[in-house]
Amino acid sequence: MSKKILIIFVLLIALMAVTLSACSNGSAPAKEEAPAQPTAAPAKEEAKPTEAPEPTKAPEAKEEEEVVLTLGSWRSDDVDQMNRILEAFHAEHPNITVKFDPTNPVEYDVTLRTQLEGGTAPDLFYLRSFSTSRQLFDEGFLEPLSMEEIPNLESNFTEAARAPWATDDGQPYGVPLMAVSHGIYYNQDLFKELGLEVPETWEDLIATAQKIKDAGYDPFANASGDEWTMAEIVFMNLAPTFIGGREGRLEYLSGDRCFNDEHAVAAFQAVADIAPYLPEGQEALNYYDSQQLFLMGDAAMWMGGSWDIPAFELEKPDFNWSVFAIPAPKGQDKEYVCFHMDAGIGLNAASEHKDAAKVFLDWVASDKLPPLLANELPGFFPVQKKAPTIDNEHANTFLSLNEGRGLDVRWAWPVLLDGDPDGYTLMQNGAVGIVNGKMTPQEAADALQEGLAQWLEPAQNCKK
């Protein structure tokens, strides 16, 4: 990884310390400090910490005791890579074996809850950030984690990097594992063949899509058959650029904006802008189908996430590909990237092997995991303070998109998942409705505002 990319990665982790101090209830959140503006990527430099005391040693499972732990996950594509990572842990702790046991991603949340309620859940399992995992903790399914027993959790992460898996008063219930980024994949060879450049503005992107369509290709491979993709890799991919990133998101949470203001409408309008350039019959295409349209060369672009890198490289398409960031509308100086704290790992409160599990969690929190994770699973970015060297070209390209752009998490994750109807579902319904001609951007924004106003105080009292 080049020195420039390494600097971006370090600054990126610093930014997470500012961005991720999210509120967890329906009232207005405490004010977040504005990030500084360094040359590589927006970040907030923390005050230099005093030298940390010698960390307390993590608990050790008795060497003579053979322990087998199960690790649940929604990442069913990562079995081989995770087995290699877990083998590295086993080499250090030969009496502890961790078996990776993933679930189909779309079924994960329901399956995990069923297992927890039925007493059959794995010892350890992936945690989604913010509300979803906090609800599990509040219901007693997650073991509170102690800094004394897992010292690397304190020494290797900023307090705010722990926040997506911690209570408001800082009690951690998960170890941060990885973040993901978002952008637009594109077929470089097809762009070259059609004489196209990477778009510099949103208007250029739509004009480029029209030229691709005129040439007989699908401009975007995305589809709404799996509705979550419209929420996470389309709408929340482009939303930061249209609502003003982190600063704009906080204005909604403070009540300074209503969720159907001009910025929210503009974000939904961007979905409407690309709707004519999705594949014919897109409403019937699932996530895999639409990926294949891109990988087979039938579509020129794919709005997606960095987590797609391993799958795309495994497919080995017969063309060169890369990624670019969502371009800003003409006249807007600032661009934004959705860089999201994605997964942590928690300990089942009912596990019979808590000591061994804590040994594993301390290893996950150490400096030993990041280089393994970053290079076995390129596109998943560890969030420890010390940035690993990343060898993968495409992963480094994703990180380079952060340079000079604002960064924020997915719009719905902090706060907006805490009530019913939740912000995620409302945003998903709006985006799906728009691309299928059943809603207008204004109607989608109005539905978001009206739904959130049923329980969210800032939406109830926002400045109209």
DSSP assignment string, 71-95: EEES-GGGHHHHHHHHHHHHHH-TT
Give the confidence band of 138 by pLDDT, cuts at 50, 70, 90: very high
For 376, other C-beta atoms within 10 Å of its C-beta total: 18
Eight-state DSSP code of residue 150? S
Quote the CA–CA distance of 45 and 37 in Å, as a whole number. Answer: 10
For 181-338+411-460, CATH gives 3.40.190.10
Q: What pLDDT is recorded for position 64?
A: 60
Nearest partner of 300 among 285, 279, 329, 271, judged by Cα = 279
Eight-state DSSP code of residue 43? B
Q: Which range among 2-11, 37-46, 108-117, 265-274 shows the weakest confidence by mean pLDDT?
A: 37-46
Q: Which range among 26-35, 327-336, 362-371 shows the weakest confidence by mean pLDDT?
A: 26-35
Q: What pLDDT is recorded for position 59?
A: 54
Residue 228 has pLDDT above 90, yes or no: yes
Q: Where are the beta strands (DSSP E) in 103-142?
A: 124-128
Nearest partner of 17 among 385, 396, 414, 389, judged by Cα = 385
Q: What pLDDT is recorded for position 34?
A: 35
48 φ, ψ (degrees, to nearest 5)? -65, 120
Q: What pLDDT is recorded for position 12?
A: 54
Higher-confidence position of 51 and 406: 406
Q: What is the mean pLDDT of residues 441-459?
A: 98
Q: Which range among 54-63, 147-156, 290-299 shows the weakest confidence by mean pLDDT?
A: 54-63
Quote the CA–CA distance of 134 and 297 in Å, as a whole number. Answer: 42
Quote the CA–CA distance of 72 and 227 in Å, as a whole number. Answer: 24
Q: Which helix (H) or strand (E) holds 176?
A: strand 175-187
Quote the CA–CA distance of 396 and 398 in Å, as a whole number. Answer: 5
Residue 273 has pLDDT above 60, yes or no: yes
In contact, 376 and 84? CB cutoff 8 Å:
yes
Residue 191 has pLDDT above 60, yes or no: yes
Give the confidence band of 38 by pLDDT, cuts at 50, 70, 90: very low
Q: What is the mean pLDDT of residues 34-43?
A: 31
Sign of the CA dihedral running 308, 313, 316, 321: positive
**CA-based end-to-end distance of the chain:** 48
Q: What is the mean pLDDT of residues 271-293?
A: 97
Alpha helices in 175-235 (DSSP H): 188-193, 202-214, 227-229
Q: What pLDDT is recorded for position 60?
A: 54
Residue 8 has pLDDT above 80, yes or no: no
Q: Which helix (H) or strand (E) holds 407?
A: strand 406-408
Residue range(s) occupied by CATH 3.40.190.10 in the chain: 3-17+55-180+339-408, 181-338+411-460
Q: Which range among 4-13, 96-105, 326-335, 382-391 shows the weakest confidence by mean pLDDT?
A: 4-13
> What burial class does residue 132 get, using C-beta atoms within 10 Å of its C-beta: 0-12 exposed, 13-18 middle, 19+ buried?
middle
Quote the CA–CA distance of 414 and 429 in Å, as a whole number. Answer: 19
Q: What is the mean pLDDT of residues 449-455?
A: 98
Give the confidence band of 352 by pLDDT, cuts at 50, 70, 90: very high
Q: What pLDDT is recorded for position 65?
A: 84
Name residue 193's amino acid. Answer: E
For the chain, what is the mean pLDDT? Answer: 89
Q: Which class in CATH covers the domain with range 3-17+55-180+339-408?
A: alpha beta
In angstroms, what CA-CA distances link 418 with 49, 130, 454?
A: 33, 9, 12
Q: What is the mean pLDDT of residues 202-214?
A: 98
Q: What pLDDT is recorded for position 338?
A: 97
Share of the chain above pLDDT 90, in %: 83
- Residue given tokens 């290079």 in the structure block: 375
In contact, 327 and 335? CB cutoff 8 Å:
yes
Q: What is the mean pLDDT of residues 81-96?
A: 97
Share of the chain above pLDDT 70, in %: 86
